[in-house]
Each structure stands twice: as structure tokens, then as C-alpha cells.
Structure 1
Amino acid sequence: MSQLATTKVPAKTCQLADQHHLADKTLIIFDWDGTLMDSIGLIVESMHIAGKAHGFTTTDKAVKDIIGLSLMKGIELLYPQASAEQKLLIQQSYADYYIANSQRTPFFAPIENMLQTLQQQNRRLAVATGKKRKGLDRVLDASDSHHYFVMTRCADEAGSKPDPQMLTDILQCTEQQVSDAVFIGDSIYDIQMANSLGMTSIAVNYGTASSDELAAQQPTYQVDTPQALAELLCA
């Protein structure tokens, strides 16, 4: 089996080849929704509300499958029969509902303690997200978490996942190499993005995609819970 094949570790075990040893990673890049923040339920609810407001319906699974993409790209995939004007209206209805209810999206426990520990270990932390800049800044403000991250990159600044431009921008800004970094995400697009650069990846099974869907993308590591992620990264 390739060293890059999925290694589903019981969190405290970190025994892969040296180039994948997480203790050596100086740059840790996170997806946001479904990885750091418990927001998947609200995203699904918001998309249903927005679609129905303009005469369209979809399924929970279909919405989860587009999480990680930019919002408009997701809407185009969910509602291909909608006109350009309708897609813009769905986007606005989604944003209105999500913003009005965003107090319902806390960090997963124990994510904030994990971020604090990683900072204390002198790791550099960053975010690469399918959110727009305005949306990410809003949740960073609401969660008082700007200070954890040396850089954040959004889909409206560098293209929608799995385009790796967000990751390459972060590497360039932080003057780090691919071998210095690990990317953590909950969608197949996250793992595809990391794989396109040959970057070490951690797939988390508690977000959008199923364990089997993520395993098929061959992440370097795969964990079931936020606690397991924290133990793996902070070991």
C-alpha cells in the first residue's frame, strides 16, 4: 500500500513515514465549515429555505455534497434549471437566512483548545474555505478567532475548491513549502485540493462527507471526531 493511502489512526498513533509526521508540520491549514465550526446543519437548512423561496427543492444529501464549493457554484449544481436571476436570488436568500441564524454555529468541542495548543507549539495556522471573504470575516468576528490564524483564504479570492490556488497562496504568503504543511477538511473537494499539490491531508468524518467517500480520495490520515483530530495534531 502506498504511504499516501488512508491511515485511519486511533488519534494517539502517529506512526507514518517521516515526511508525513505531523509533529514536523509548521503550517496547519484548516477548512472551516464542518471542520472547525459545527455549521453543516445550518447550511443545509439555509439552502432548503432559499431554494423553496424561489420554487426549487433538493435533498439533504445533495446540499451536503456541494459544501466546500463556493456558494454560487453549489447553487448552480443544485438548481441547474434555475435562471441566472433566480440563482442570484437563491444566493441572497441563503445569505440572509444563514446570517440571521449564525449564532447557532459554534466551534466543535474541543477545537478552540486545540487551536490554542497549536499556537503554543509555535505552529502557524491558516484557513482555506469555500466561504466568501465577507462571510468568513463575519464568523471570525463572531467567534473572536482572528488571532489564531496567520492567513485566511476564501473562494472569491482564489477560486472554488478543488482548485488548489487557496493553498498555494497560503504557502507563498507564509514562505512555507508543501512538505511543511498539512490540510484538514471534511469534504472530498478538500482532499482533492490537497492531493493535487501532494500535500499531507487529514480527512475528518464528522462533517459533510461519509467515511467511505473520504477514504476513496486517499487522505493521508482520517479521523472520526474533533477530539481525535485534536489528539492527532497536538501529539
Structure 2
Amino acid sequence: MAKRFELIVFDWDGTLMDSAGAIVACIQAAARDLGLAPPPEERARHVIGLGLGEALRHALPELEDERHHELAERYRYHYLAQDQDLTLFAGAENLVRALNEAGHLLAIATGKSRRGLDRALGHSGLGLLFHATRCADECHSKPHPQMLEELMEEFGVAQEATLMIGDTTHDLLMAKNAGAAAVGVAYGAHPPEALAAEAPLHLAESIEDLRRWLGANA
């Protein structure tokens, strides 16, 4: 049977990697290091998926511009101290392997830096399963469509044959801006009602739910 989606693009944090809680904690810890009141969890969760600089500016808009590099340094310190201990969501590796074996082109579009994604792919062992990746320090931050546009151009895949999967409204809006289809996952950073408002093709409650939907529709 012909594949509906030739190219399937995953977000990383909160979609394949169970890291949203750790990211929130690191943003809050970095704020405390600078003597600032940490942002509430809801605000810190909302910025997950953006490039680091943009995420921290939104999380702590009261911070003077000249101190944002300090905040970013403290965030990296806290995150890099424990990122090797983060794990994939149960079933995520099997899902990616099955899609790879089924002949889909697989890619990642993430708010992580190139260094951060390479570390995560190395720790997880998934690096060889993805055909291409795009990071926020190489492209415009989500929801700008550049990451998806570059991936579609790289592989010569049309918009209608491209699917973006992510746990934030930034992911779903990026897909919309690029003219691609999108599936949301409700177990990550953004609340299900916010994702549903962007009208994804499906809102998966779990990796297993996502696997079933992709098996029937991708």
C-alpha cells in the first residue's frame, strides 16, 4: 500500500524524549541562580520547543537583555548536568524503528541546539534511524516554517506528503506555516486543549496511540 506520508518529522523534547519536566526545572533553577523569581511551570512549559534564547526571553521577560547570556549559561549548566539520565518515552524507540523499516523518510525538527541534539541522539541510540535533522541554532525558531521547508526541499517531498509530529503548539503552527500536515501528542509540554485548538489530524494520548494512528494512516 502506498504511503500517505513519505516524510515524517518528529519534534524531540516532550515528543520522543521524556524531558519536558527537566527543561522546566532547569529554567527555574537558572532563574534562581540569577536571583530571580522562577517562572511558573505553565509559562516555562509553554516556551519548550522554541530556540533557547527566544524561550528564555519569553520565560523571563523582565530580565534585562544584557543578562540573557548569563541565564542561558546557567540553564545549560543545569541541563547538561543531567541530560544523559533522560530517557525516551516507553515505546518511542520501537515506533521510530518500525517507521524506518517501513520505508518512511524520518527527520527531526527541534528547538535544541545542534550540540544538544547530537548528545541526545548519541545517548538514546536513535541517531542512525533519522535521515536528517534541523536545530534552532541552524534555522529560525518554531513556528517559522524554515526547518520543515528545508527538510522537504532536501528530500524533494511535497507538502501533502509531509507529516510533523510534536507536543507543542509551536510544532503544529510550524507545520501549518509550511503547508504540511500535523499530529499532536498530548503527553508532552503543552496542554491537550491548546493542541486541539490547532486542529491536528490526530491528538495522540500516548506513544501506543500514536503508533496505532500512524499504522492506519501514514
TM-score normalised to the size of structure 2? 0.95
Determine whether 1:31 maps to 2:11: yes
| Structure-1 separation of matches of 2:79 and 2:215 | 32
Residue 183 (1) aligns with residue 164 (2): yes
Which ranges of 4 or more aligned residues in structure 1 deviate by more than 4 Å? none
Task: State whether residues 13 and 20 of structure 2, in contact with CA within 8 Å, keep that contact through their aligned partners in structure 1.
Answer: yes
> C-alpha separation between the residues in 2 aligned to 1:22 and 1:47?
44
Mapped contact 1:32–1:129 kept (Cα < 8 A): yes
Q: Distance in 2 between matches of 1:86 and 1:49?
A: 15
Instruction: Give CA deviations for 1:67-114 in whole Å, capped at 9, x if unaligned.
Output: 111111011112222123321111011111111101231111101001
1:212 aligns with 2:193: yes
Indicate which of 49, 54, 72 corresponds to 1:91: 72
Counterparts of 1:22 and 1:97 in 2: how far apart (Å)? 45
* Counterpart for residue 142 of structure 1: 123
- Matched to 2:158, the amino acid is Q
Q: Is the 8 A contact 1:22 1:233 kept in 2?
A: no
Q: Distance in 2 between matches of 1:139 and 1:129?
A: 11
Structure 2 portions without partners, runs of 5+ = none
1:200 aligned residue (167, 170, 181):
181
Matches within 5 A, 1:40-79: 40-56=20-36, 57-79=38-60
Give the secondary structure class of the aligned counterpart of 1:113.
helix
Are the structure 2 counterparts of residues 105 and 22 from structure 1 closer, same or farther at C-alpha, using a change threshold of 3 Å? farther
Superposition map of 1:146-157 within 5 A? 146-157=127-138
> Could you tell me how far apart the structure 2 residues matched to 1:150 and 1:52 are?
39
Match of 2:178, as an amino acid?
Answer: L
Query: 1:109 — aligned with what?
Result: 90
The code of the aligned residue for 2:144 comes to: D
Following superposition, the deviation at residue 22 of structure 1 comes to 9.6
Secondary structure of the residue that 2:199 maps to in structure 1?
coil
Q: Which amino acid aligns with 1:38?
A: D
Q: For residues 23 and 223 of structure 1, what CA distance do their matches in structure 2 show? A: 20
Report the RMSD for the aligned CA atoms in angstroms. 1.4
- Unaligned residue ranges in structure 1 (runs of 5+): 1-20
- Aligned match for 1:169, one of 150, 155, 158: 150
Give the alignment's TM-score, normalised by structure 1. 0.88
Cα distance in 2 for residues equivalent to 1:225 and 1:143: 19
2:137 is the counterpart of 1:159: no
Partner Cα distance (2:12, 2:2) in 1? 20
- Aligned residue pairs, count: 215
CA distance in 2, matches of 1:128, 1:121: 21
Between the two proteins, what is the percent identity of the paired residues?
35
